Amino acid sequence: MNTADLGLPVDVPSTALFTDQYELTMLRAALRAGTAERRSVFEVFTRRLPNGRRYGVVAGTGRVLDAVENFRFDEGVLGFLRERAIVDEETLDWLAGYRFSGDIWGYPEGEVYFPGSPIMRVEGSFAECVLLETVILSILNHDSAIAAAASRMSSAAGERPLIEMGARRTHELAAVAAARAAYIGGFTTTSDLAAGFRYGIPTVGTSAHAFTLLHDRERDAFQAQVNSLGRGTTLLVDTYDVAEAVRTAVEVAGPELGAVRIDSGDLLLVAHRVRQQLDELGARDTRIIVTSDLDEYAIASLAAAPVDAYGVGTQLVTGSGHPTCSMVYKLVARAESADPGAPLVPVAKKSTGGKTSIGGRKWAARRLDAYGVAEAEVIGTDAVPAELAERQLLVELVKGGEVVAREPLDVVRDRHIAARAGLPLSATQLSRGEPVIPTEYLSGRSGS
Amino acid sequence: MNTADLGLPVDVPSTALFTDQYELTMLRAALRAGTAERRSVFEVFTRRLPNGRRYGVVAGTGRVLDAVENFRFDEGVLGFLRERAIVDEETLDWLAGYRFSGDIWGYPEGEVYFPGSPIMRVEGSFAECVLLETVILSILNHDSAIAAAASRMSSAAGERPLIEMGARRTHELAAVAAARAAYIGGFTTTSDLAAGFRYGIPTVGTSAHAFTLLHDRERDAFQAQVNSLGRGTTLLVDTYDVAEAVRTAVEVAGPELGAVRIDSGDLLLVAHRVRQQLDELGARDTRIIVTSDLDEYAIASLAAAPVDAYGVGTQLVTGSGHPTCSMVYKLVARAESADPGAPLVPVAKKSTGGKTSIGGRKWAARRLDAYGVAEAEVIGTDAVPAELAERQLLVELVKGGEVVAREPLDVVRDRHIAARAGLPLSATQLSRGEPVIPTEYLSGRSGS
């Protein structure tokens, strides 16, 4: 089934209004000034990782490609812009024919990144590129923040599966993107049906406390669930007394009971007790799933506990303390004039208050040490040194307005696991630290 | 213009998949067990405010009403559920005819809340109510978190206008809801065009550093902007040298220049210098807008600075350290049987690890002191005391499946300002503290 074609709630007709007004007023002014057609290069990068994080995770690239394709101004949108007098008629005419016709290069989705990494590069006329700032940043800043948290959690969980269940803690459509980003970061399944529908991510879910409370006795609830979902289901055992619930669960479902879920209390202690009780009852294959306010630290602390899977909600969808990245979209080079062949000039805002930008169109490569482990993120604007030519990070995503790099989510997920594995071992330490490899700028005078 | 009818990107065809899978598996099991039709009462509440916060702000109610109305299972959705074998045919048949037919009461949008406040109460059959858990919580948890941050910022800003400009730092549709919540919390305008389109919120925006960098000289960029947008526009003066830019700006636009924007550096210092310079240049009416990584503390610290408006991004859309609320959706009472007249029984999970719930259908009222200032949030399950009868907080939102309480956003915004003004003065202190009024439970044995 091609789930993308089913008209799901997250397929939006147009992304053109996911835009800050200033992008349209700049367009209007540039059209009038004759500068709108100057060839321009915008780059997405971040000046720093969130405090203490060792690496970032690029996520959202696939969604950016969808957003760029659907960035069109239809009659309803144009009518709104006219009524509000946000742009003039000349600009409205220009917008009516808008279709991005430039090129986009970027780090492939799932790749890791570091401060200064040119995660995405958008090239075309100033007019067509400036409009994409907000939607590109919204997607990359949100999705990458979630993927980074997911990656830390999946490191901490090791081989144990992780269930994404944070939909209730974030905006209903952010939740769908969060489930996608979590999957990229190493999660196994999601509770969010819209994410299953839209992206084909495996979904799971059995019951909540309300189901036990609905019934006259806990036993009735367990029996009803087993009757409906089979003995392989997961029974929630902490509505009243855990030990009694575990006994009842095995009585009702037999030792074939799939799993029990614990959603409150001291998970370390309770998991040990429940494991012992299940074993004594002969339910040695019944798994234990824990799900109460987990983050990567709680997951790590349960490494030695008899836990078979983790469900993570709030801390996943809020980026475990860092709900957004600080990616920016900056003009780094533009043509001297609107002539098609005019040379590019590197440009940058003057540095103040830590807002440093480096002008010029950049390449990036990851240098490896003698053992094949990453040792530096190397960025430059001149020719790529021969020894790094094969290690370049940017790939072509959009060519002349056509998306050329769609890929299945599993490919992205595998890429992330491989990219993380290529970093020094300290990358997956949960403690606060510096980026695990340094960013090196090769100095260069030319920006084109 | 009725912007809701324009088919905007945020009107979604169905909200039925903004649902955790366990809601459907519980429905399936309850249908088979004959318990699905038991009359049930679910309540939304939070056990605590975010650490240090004095009050919460209810936001998202209007969006919940839209989501409940659009909660339908069409063929595409039913096909997905069948293919994944999430529910059986009996359940699919039931879902095909789904339409919420129960009642919803809640705190009116914009009202403040405290730990335990029954912010929303959903009543109907277990089957029809259990399905709404995730979508209701997603909306209320997200929107209320943003509105709470916005309310603190608007307290700190006093009479000075606040511009919401955080779209690039959050999911593209979360951004639209965030702009709406910010407006409720006291913001004045937004940069997000989709929010203007969908909710009629006033939009603003002029130019970014890229516009200055596009042109050969800063003067050319300023001239282009003034030519297009008029002398009343806002010129961004920190691309290169602020003092030089201010001089150029006034030369180009004259003393009628609307405003200058400062987006980096020590805002307190720079604002004073720029004000002095503008005054010396005769541009006494030119306003100063500041926009660099502001939060409520930074806004408060600029109270004595010559600043005329604030633009806030990241910290607004991420809830200023608290990007979600901890609202839960709990079954608090249900009928003894599926008979239409069966009496309600209060139910609650056993308390463990701080997860306390109080069974029974609740009312809430805000008790005032002799000066008319709020002194307690009073919650009970028995009859409402006569002296609180006129101070009850829950209002009818949906009656027999029909939405009965739609209201314009300006009404909601005004309600919030009034509700906040009715709290003790310490409510708007920015320092960490306890909830500004206590929650009192009137003991009662009956839950119906």
Q: Is A87 on the interface with B (CB under 8 A)?
A: no
User: Is pLDDT at A365 greater than 60 in this prediction?
Assistant: yes
Instruction: Provide the pLDDT for residue A272.
Output: 98
pLDDT average, residue stretch B146-168 = 98
pTM, rounded to two decimals: 0.96
Sequence-separated (6 or more) residues with CB below 8 Å from residue B154: B162, B185, B186, B187
**pLDDT at A201 (0 to 100):** 97
Given its phi and psi angles, is residue A302 left (phi above 0), alpha (psi -120 to 50 degrees) or beta?
alpha
Cα dist from B212 to A29, A394, B121, B256, whole Å: 11, 28, 53, 21
Integer Cα distance of A123 and A43 in angstroms = 9
| pLDDT band for position A357 (cuts 50, 70, 90) | confident
Asked if A20 and B168 come within 8 Å (Cβ–Cβ), the reply is: yes
**Which candidate, A72, A56, A61, A196, places its Cα nearest to that of A139?**
A61
Q: Is B147 on the interface with A (CB under 8 A)?
A: no
Q: Rounded to a whole number, what is the distance in Å from the CA of A375 to chain B's nearest CA?
A: 30
Return all residues near B298 (Cβ < 8 A) that are at least 6 apart.
B267
Residue B126 has pLDDT above 60, yes or no: yes
CATH 3.40.50.12500 for domain B3-131+326-442: no
* Distance (Å, whole) CA B431 – CA B436: 12
- Number of residues that this document lists for chain A: 448
pLDDT confidence of A355, banded at 50, 70, 90? low
CATH 3.40.228.10 fits B147-321, yes or no: no
List the B287-290 sheet strands across, edge first.
B189-190, B162-164, B309-312, B287-290, B259-262, B234-236
Give yes or no for residue A5 having a pLDDT over 50: no
CB proximity A373 to B under 8 Å: no
pLDDT for position B354: 60
What confidence tier does B447 reach under pLDDT thresholds 50, 70, 90?
very low
A337 near B CB under 8 A: no
- Rounded to whole angstroms, the Cα distance separating B208 from B230 reads 17
pLDDT band at B14 (very low <50, low <70, confident <90, very high): confident
* B406 interfacial to chain A (CB closer than 8 Å): no
Task: Report residue A334 as tokens.
Answer: 């533009």
Residue B13 neighbours by CB under 8 Å, 6+ apart: A7, A9, B70, B74
Domain ranges of chain A: 3-131+326-442, 147-321
The predicted complex's ipTM stands at 0.96
Q: Does A155 contact chain B (CB < 8 Å)?
A: no
Instruction: List alpha helices for B119-231, DSSP H.
Output: 126-130, 133-157, 172-184, 193-199, 209-214, 218-229
pLDDT > 90? residue A177: yes
Interchain CB distance below 8 Å, B18 and A175: yes
pLDDT digits over A219-241, tens only?
999 999 999 999 999 999 999 99
Place of tokens 């009629």: B200
Nearest-CA distance A436 → chain B (Å): 25
Closest CB to A349: pick one of B88, B130, B213: B213
C-alpha distance from B215 to closest chain A C-alpha (Å)? 7
Candidates B173, B224, B353; nearest CB to A292: B353
Contact status of B386 with chain A (Cβ, < 8 Å): no
CA dihedral B158, B161, B162, B164 (to 10 degrees): 160
Tell me the pLDDT band of B357, cut-offs 50, 70 and 90: confident
Q: How confident is the model at residue B2 (pLDDT cuts 50, 70, 90)?
A: very low
At residue B133, does pLDDT exceed 90?
A: yes
Answer yes or no: do B349 and A213 touch at CB < 8 A.
Answer: yes
Using one digit for the tens of pLDDT, what is the confidence trace for B216-241? 999 999 999 999 999 999 999 999 99
Average of per-residue pLDDT across A244-273: 97
